[in-house]
Structure formats: C-alpha cells, structure tokens
C-alpha cells in the first residue's frame, strides 16, 4: 500500500496509474523488451481486462435478474453495447465479409476498455481523479525523457528502437516515416511519431486543465510545475514534426482562451464549431489550391473522392468493419473515411450524435460551473473534441492510445450524468 499525498493508493488507484503507464510504454515493452519471451503474450492485457469484465457482467446480470428481476443501469448499458457489437458481427458474417477480425477488435476494445477505465475513475471520482493526475504525470514524464533521449542520440533510421525489429519481421519501413528534413521524427515508446504526438496532444489538453485548476486553487508551486510541464510537452509535440498535432495544439490553446474569457454556452459552442469548420476548410483549401506539393497531403483528395464513390452504394450500413483496415480491402489516412465505410452513414452519424449530445451537456455545465470535477474532465472534452474531429479528416488514428483517453473522457461525463439522473429519480 502506497501513499499519494494523504490518500492511500488502493487497487483502483493502481489500476488507473498502471493502465496509463502501460498505454504509454505498450509498444516498446512488447515489441522490444518482451518480444522474444513468453511474457509477450501479456500484450493482450487490455483484451484480458475486457474479458474479465464481460465475465463479471454476465454473472452480475444473471444474479440480478434471478434475485431481483432487473439489472443495474451500468450493467444494462454495457449489455446493450454487447448486443450492438453482436449485431454488427452477424451482419458481417451474413454478408460474407467477416474474414478479418482485427478492425472489429479495434472498435470493440476501445469501446469496452475505455468504458471500464472510466467506470473505475467514476466510482469515487474525487479520490480517483488524483490517481488519474498521478498516472498522467508519471506516464508523461516517461514519454518526455525518452523523447529527448531519442532526439540527441538518433542520427540514422536504425537508431530508432523499432526499425530493425520491423525489418526482421519482414516490413519495409520508409525513411520519410522517421526523418523529415534531416530531423528525426521523435516517437518515444511508440512505433510512430503520429501516435506519440497525438497522445501528447490529449495530455497537453488535460494538463491545461490541471494548470488552470492549480491557479484557481492558488497553489503557486503546483501551478509553475504544470506551466513548465506544458511548455515541455508542447516542445515534444514540435520535435515529433507532426504538423497536424502542432495545428491541433494551437487550436487547443485558442479554445482554452475562449473558455477563460467567456462562459456563455452559446459563445462556447460557436467558437467550438467555428474552429472545427475553419481548420477543416482551410486545410482542404490549402491542399486543393496547390499550396503544398507533398505526396502525403496531395493523396488526401483522391482518398475522399474514392470514399464518395464507394459510400453512395453502401450509405446505410457501409462496407462492413472487416473490409476496412490495414489488412482489409480498403484503407485510407482518414479516420472519418475508415469509420463511415465501416459502419455506413446512418449508423455512423447515430454514434456521432450520441457523442455530440454529451458534448453539449459538457458545454452547458462549463457555462455555469467551475468546480474541480468540471475543470479536470469537462474542460478537456470541450477543447479537444473539435480538434480531434478536425484531425479525423486527415489522420487514421489506428489503435493510437490517444483514442482511449478521448473516449474515456466522454464515458466519465456519461457516468456522472447518468448518476445524477438516477439520484433525481430516487428523490
């Protein structure tokens, strides 16, 4: 049993802290240190946690159903999610497309693991938010230190810890994936600078909230620590050379300033929508009008043209999850393209609408509350959502840990909102 301040770190705290650290070092741990050992099979630690939870869920439903004739709101929520995934899988089986489960696992794992992580956080939100803070600090420190170590030691592609490993596995990594204008594209414990920078972008947003909270609580030492930490994280995003993450970080700072200067819900919503539309439109125009000659940027337009040609024949239910992905028939550099091809326009927008409903709950809460809980969890959602929705146009976000943190924040809001409704029903 350890201590963090005056709070004892029990099992829930350890789960939160170690989950964040493992999300950070997962690639390096299992593709480098443990790759040729029996412990490599622990790479499925997220799958194991989800399976244990689902087994518990089944027992809980059976127990509650037999003894009380009804199940809890939490169990019923996850039960509906399971049914939804089964229906999607059955459709894939009937249509003959369920020949590749990797993408199905991607959506399933993110949905349930993020839900379990948020559920643990929400069980005792005031106490567990401190575990979340500690996990965030420790994991980010690891990323930052190893990122700077890479920057000063890497001179050729083989200096990246994963380069020779990928070559030995039969892959053919390209030099432009690890170097840009003779600068190493820092990736730290990750296997790509994109995953590294996007994860740091989410952390940067959450750190802004902690910085503001420490200022509000008049904790000077803590405030300067977080302020320094913010500068360091921003510098690491810069060193990654991922331009979309740099653009995203500027957008994050802008929306943070919007929140500081105005708490009117209509104004908050206006600037959120404006920055999403502004960044998306300007980026597309930048490419279409010929201001760049980079192949990676120019390739985005043909991908969207192909998307519209494909989706017009399958706009209701899409092509099926198994056909989309690195091992599928279709794959693009856009999360939105892959997502809507997987689920179709109708189901895809239903899921997006659920997110947006929660998002406007967040804006409403921010407009009249500024307590610790709102600042830690609600403020990052307000800031990062329009930025991520913009980045979804131009990045695939395949299996990046940034998605886990992004979805977790929404789950926390859902649990808090659901608990408040449940308490009102009792009253």
Could you give the CA distance from residue 392 to residue 374 in angstroms, rounded to a whole number? 26
Q: What is the DSSP string of 176-219?
A: GGTEETTEE---TTSSSHHHHHHHHHHHHHHHHHHHHHHHHTT-
Q: How do residues 42-65 score in pLDDT, each as one tens digit?
A: 999 999 999 999 999 989 888 877
pLDDT value at residue 253: 96
Phi-psi region of 218 (alpha: psi -120 to 50; beta: other; left: phi over 0): left
Contacts of 238 (CB under 8 A, 6+ apart): 246
Q: Is the pLDDT higher at 3 or at 207? A: 207
Among the listed ranges 83-97, 214-228, 294-308, 360-374, which one has the minimum average pLDDT value?
Answer: 83-97
Q: How do residues 315-332 score in pLDDT, each as one tens digit?
A: 887 887 877 877 677 888
- Do 193 and 158 form a contact (C-beta atoms < 8 A)? no
- pTM (two decimals): 0.91
């Amino acid at each position: 049993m350890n201590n963090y301040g005056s709070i004892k770190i029990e099992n829930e705290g350890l789960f939160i802290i170690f989950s964040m650290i493992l999300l950070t070092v997962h690639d390096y741990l299992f593709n480098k240190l443990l790759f040729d050992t029996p412990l490599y099979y622990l790479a499925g630690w997220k799958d194991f946690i989800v399976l244990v939870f689902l087994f518990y869920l089944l027992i809980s439903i059976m127990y509650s159903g037999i003894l009380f004739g009804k199940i809890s709101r939490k169990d019923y929520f996850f039960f509906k999610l399971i049914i939804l995934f089964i229906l999607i899988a059955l459709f894939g089986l009937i249509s003959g497309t369920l020949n590749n489960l990797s993408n199905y696992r991607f959506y399933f794992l993110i949905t349930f693991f993020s839900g379990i992580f948020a559920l643990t956080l929400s069980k005792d939100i005031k106490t567990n938010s401190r575990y979340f803070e500690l996990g965030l600090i420790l994991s980010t420190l690891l990323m930052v230190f190893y990122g700077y170590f890479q920057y000063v030691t890497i001179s050729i592609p083989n200096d990246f810890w994963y380069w020779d490993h990928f070559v030995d596995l039969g892959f053919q990594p390209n030099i432009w994936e690890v170097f840009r204008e003779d600068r190493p594209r820092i990736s730290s414990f990750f296997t790509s600078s994109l995953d590294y920078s996007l994860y740091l972008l989410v952390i940067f947003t959450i750190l802004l909230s902690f910085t503001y909270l420490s200022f509000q609580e008049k904790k000077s030492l803590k405030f300067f620590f977080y302020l320094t930490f913010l500068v360091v994280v921003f510098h690491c995003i810069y060193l990654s050379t991922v331009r979309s993450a740099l653009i995203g970080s500027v957008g994050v700072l802008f929306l943070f300033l919007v929140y500081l200067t105005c708490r009117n819900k209509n104004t908050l919503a206006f600037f959120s929508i404006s920055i999403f539309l502004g960044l998306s439109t300007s980026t597309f125009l930048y490419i279409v009008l010929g201001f760049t000659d980079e192949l990676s940027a120019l390739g985005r337009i043909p991908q969207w043209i192909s998307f519209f040609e494909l989706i017009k024949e399958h706009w209701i239910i899409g092509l099926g999850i198994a056909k989309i992905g690195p091992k599928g028939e279709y794959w693009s550099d856009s999360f939105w393209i892959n997502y809507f091809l997987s689920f179709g326009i109708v189901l895809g927008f239903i899921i997006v609408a659920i997110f947006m409903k929660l998002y406007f709950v967040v804006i409403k809460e921010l407009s009249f509350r500024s307590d610790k809980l709102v600042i830690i969890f609600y403020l990052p959602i307000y800031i990062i959502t329009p930025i991520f929705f913009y980045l979804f146009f131009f990045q695939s976000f395949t299996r990046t840990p940034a998605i886990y943190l992004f979805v977790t924040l929404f789950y926390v809001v859902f649990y808090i909102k659901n608990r408040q409704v449940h308490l009102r029903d009792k009253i």
